[in-house]
């Protein structure tokens, strides 16, 4: 992730000095500018900044009209927010296995579709893109909405497109662990005018006082407050200038290290849905025990299975179908009985138990990481 530094401090100071901290006002401009810059980066027609990646997913679902009785397909490996967001609009998440690319499996998507399925949320975990060609084809075949969770992959490309701008809607996150880091924040992306108007209405209590904005024939409706402030947006502008150089460096380093690691007989480099644009590097061992042994080597981070918060078996509120009030429980509004169990996505568990993350070492010279890769491969 880009580091926070002096430039962000100066940008925040500028926003404070100008005296217009909210995004709406005669002097406000940072938020409008950064939304335009995100559109230019991704190719999306509209970008709406919000308070977090979770907020972006919820606003996107609300914009698409997803609600009670609807089922939303989400991968079994992701931050729990992906599964929680449908619950917040009254829908229920249906868990789908990942495949060896560490992203949602298109074949299991097909198996999990029911007459009540309304949307798919593919998640580009750790900068690894989903098979968006297959997913968009499935969505078109079944008349489904695709909302890309690109929270962990801002700036990354899939073939000729930026992640987050391929589906009907997309979600970005700008928290401290992401490619753009302002502590916390997010954005909704879409090229659909009406989805944009609905997302904007939802994120600002109906936006009934923003009469100067184009509504695209969409009426106001009751929403919530997800607005960002000018300080966040000023910092984000600084971060945006850093993301592409960082990703370019990651792409070169990944290509060099993956080439070396591919010669090992003890593991394989994790397959990727777009090798030409790959910026993430993980390795897949033949067994769980072999992956545990790899953890002790220099340059190999922990197994993905050990990052428990991203695995469905640890999403207790989802597995127990527990909400803040029993009468606000979407599972009771579902059109069929929905059940979860710890062993419902065993393929996902097996893959995560055998996968280790390789450190790209961007703070070190290339020749150092070359030696690290050679040592891992040996």
Beta carbons of 156 and 124 less than 8 angstroms apart: yes
Burial of 266 (0-12, 13-18, 19+ CB in 10 A): middle
Give the C-alpha separation, 283 to 300, whole Å.
Answer: 9
Beta carbons of 114 and 129 less than 8 angstroms apart: no
Per the listing, tokens 């070396």 go with 260
Structure tokens given for 143: 């008349």
Is beta strand 282-285 parallel, antiparallel or unpaired with respect to 267-269? antiparallel
**330-348 per-residue burial string, b: 16 or more CB within 10 A, e: under 16:** bbeebeeebebeeeebeeb
For this structure, is 178 an active site residue? yes
Give the C-alpha separation, 154 to 162, whole Å.
Answer: 8
DSSP 330-361: GGGTSSS-----TTTTHHHHHHHHHEEEEP--
DSSP letter assigned to residue 120:
E
Measured N-to-C along each axis, helices 53-63 and 193-202 cross at an angle, to the nearest 10 degrees, of: 120
Instruction: Given the residues 27, 178, 327, 332, select the one marked as catalytic.
Output: 178
Task: List, by residue number, the catalytic residues.
Answer: 178
């Amino acid at each position: 992730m880009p580091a926070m530094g002096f430039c962000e401090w100066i940008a925040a100071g500028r926003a404070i000095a100008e005296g217009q901290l909210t995004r709406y006002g005669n002097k406000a401009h940072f938020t409008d500018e950064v939304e335009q810059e995100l559109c230019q980066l991704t190719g999306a027609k509209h970008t709406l900044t919000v308070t977090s990646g979770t907020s972006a997913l919820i606003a996107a679902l609300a914009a698409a009209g997803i609600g009670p009785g609807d089922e939303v397909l989400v991968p079994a490996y992701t931050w729990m927010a992906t599964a929680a967001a449908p619950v917040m609009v009254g829908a229920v998440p249906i868990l789908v296995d990942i495949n060896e690319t560490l992203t949602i499996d298109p074949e299991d998507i097909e198996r999990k579709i029911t007459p009540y399925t309304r949307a798919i949320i593919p998640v580009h975990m750790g900068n690894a893109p989903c098979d968006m060609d297959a997913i968009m084809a499935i969505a078109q075949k079944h008349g489904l909405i695709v909302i890309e969770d690109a929270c962990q992959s801002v700036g990354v490309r899939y073939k000729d497109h930026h992640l987050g701008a391929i589906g009907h809607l997309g979600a970005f996150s700008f928290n401290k662990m992401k490619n753009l880091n302002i502590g916390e924040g997010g954005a909704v992306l879409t090229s659909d005018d009406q989805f944009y108007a609905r997302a904007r209405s939802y994120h600002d209590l109906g936006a009934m006082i923003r009469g100067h904005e184009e509504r695209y024939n969409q009426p106001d409706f009751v929403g919530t407050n997800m607005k960002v402030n000018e300080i966040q947006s000023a910092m984000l502008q600084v971060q945006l200038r850093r993301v592409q150089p960082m990703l370019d460096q990651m792409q070169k380093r990944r290509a060099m290290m993956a080439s070396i690691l591919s010669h090992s007989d003890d593991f394989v480099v994790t397959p990727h849905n777009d090798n030409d644009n790959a910026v993430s590097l993980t390795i897949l061992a033949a067994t769980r025990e072999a992956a545990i042994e790899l953890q002790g080597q220099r340059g190999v981070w922990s197994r993905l299975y050990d990052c428990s918060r991203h695995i469905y078996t640890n999403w207790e509120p989802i597995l127990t179908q527990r909400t803040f009030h029993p009468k606000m429980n979407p599972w009771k509004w579902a059109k069929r009985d929905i059940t979860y169990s710890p062993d419902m996505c065993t393929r996902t568990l097996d893959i995560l138990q055998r996968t280790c993350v390789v450190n790209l070492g961007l703070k070190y010279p290339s020749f150092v990481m070359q030696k690290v890769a050679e040592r891992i491969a040996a």
